Amino acid sequence: MFQKILIANRGEIAVRIIRACRDLHIKSVAIYARADRDSLHVKMADESYEISDDPLRGYLDADLIVEVALKAEVDAIHPGYGFLSENAHFAKKVQEAGITWIGPDSQTIAKMGDKNAAREIMQKNGIPIVPGTEPLNKHSTQEIAKIAQKIGYPVILKASSGGGGRGIRVVEKQEDLIESFNACKREAMAFFKNDDVFMEKYIVNPRHIEFQILADNYGNVIHLLERDCSIQRRHQKLIEIAPSPLISDDLRRRMGATAKAAAKAAQYTNAGTVEFLLDENNTFYFMEMNTRIQVEHGVTEEITGYDLIGRQIRIAQGEILDLTQHDIRPQGFAIEARINAEDVANDFVPNPGKITTYYPALGPFVRVDSCIYKDYVIPPFYDSMIAKLIVKASSYNLAVNKLSRALSEFTIKGVKTTIPFLMNICNDKDFRRGHFDTSYIESKIEELMPQTESKPEDDVVSVIAAALSARYGA
């Protein structure tokens, strides 16, 4: 049994992991950059270590994190998501230091992190993949143009080591191909230190469906149903739904079986996600495998009743998976809305600053995963997501109603947020009917934009929040 776990991350996922550790009576160790010294994860952890005065360097320094882990005498490291969570080099260093890595083996991370290697593994094992290529960097511009013509426009260029919506370019016509290829290479090198780029057939307006996987160290693999992540802006997810409101039981069974086969082909252990593109004819294609916990894991927890972070820790400790596929049954619908500190009217530019009022939504089957609090100052150095609002109900329609209600009560003042934009999505008839794909935001952006923002003096919830703050200091 682990006695102490270091969380190699920050923000809401670090808070989430600390809570899972507490549930299992395991001590937690936080690391933080100086800019994060007032962060909630630092306050909550049993031990905390400042690792850098630079806001980013410490979270990305594998050697430094391992050094702190050894100093703190931890048994294991949980990487969360982002930063070094899918870095095979970091995982290997952790394992070589005699510390347990809470995630898949470093070799698996390396294989699945290379999009081309992952495609090859899946293709060899009969997993359907989108028609595409090996890295194109050694090809001439004329050869790249011929390959694109053979695949057929539109095509999509992707960084081999990409993720999080970075290193992606959709090309509609030949005259834009080489410029897009060079731009994709530059972005790939800037974000991933690897400028390998490959090309795929671009599936027009698909649904983005992902299956949550759990696999122990003894060959047992299950999926915990799917999440529909089609509501995206610039390849960044905004809303996730579990299960998908428009997938039939038969399609769910087939996709789930394929997801498990993909995990077995990768010799996968711990928690991971197999991502698919689903076209208008219900034909699905393997897109990638994420070798970490996902931001949106909470909706899966809500519909299955299983703690995924807790399961990650228990699998890493060597426990045999005590679940079978027969045990996994959806219990209603759950929806997650990512709340970002962004100025929607100004092209969603990040809007860091001091939280002057914080009143999270409450009520039955409403969950908030967050790292902010009243008077917390959001640093300008990190991702703009500041909270995840998760609701659950017996039907998709009721879940949308609950999400709309919860968003209307959720009050954050001092910074601009995406809450009004998310409320408009809830009120859209196509979203309510489940009629959406990855083009949804782009096609409806003008009608979804908030027209006016409510004034604090007209906001009933703000008045309630102010009264509570004055009385309880919260």
| pLDDT tens-digit readout, 227-240 | 999 999 998 999 99
Give the model's pLDDT for residue 461.
52
Distance CA 320, CA 318 (A): 7
What Å distances lie between residue 421 and 11, 139, 256, CA to CA?
23, 43, 32
Is residue 59 within 8 Å of residue 83, measured between CB atoms? yes
Cα distance between residue 196 and residue 134, in whole Å: 9
What are the C-alpha distances in Å from 234 to residues 6, 147, 170, 205, 217? 33, 26, 11, 13, 36
Segments of the chain with pLDDT less than 70: 164, 452-474
Name the amino acid, one letter, at 85.
S
**102 with 5: CB under 8 angstroms?**
yes
> Could you write out the three-class secondary structure of 89-120?
HHHHHHHHCCCEECCCCHHHHHHHHCHHHHHH
Cβ-contact 233, 214 below 8 angstroms: no
Residues 6+ apart with CB under 8 A from 294: 81, 210, 212, 227, 273
User: What Cα–Cα distance (Å) separates residue 124 from each residue in 57, 265, 266?
Assistant: 39, 9, 11
- Do the beta carbons of residue 30 and residue 49 sit within 8 Å? yes
Q: What is the pLDDT of residue 161?
A: 84
- Report, as residue numbers or ranges, the catalytic residues: 292
Place of tokens 């937690």: 28
Phi and psi torsions of 416, nearest 5°: -85, 145
pTM comes to 0.88
Rounded to a whole number, what is the distance in angstroms from the first to the last CA of the chain? 37
> Within 13 A of 19's CA, how many CA atoms are on the CB side?
13
Dist CA 271 CA 256 (whole Å):
15
The residues, ordered by sequence, that sit 6+ positions from 266 with a Cβ below 8 Å of its Cβ are: 108, 111, 112, 118, 121, 289
Tokens of 52: 């850098």
Parallel/antiparallel/unpaired status of strands 47-52 and 27-33: parallel
Q: Where are the alpha helices (DSSP H) in 266-395?
A: 297-304, 308-316
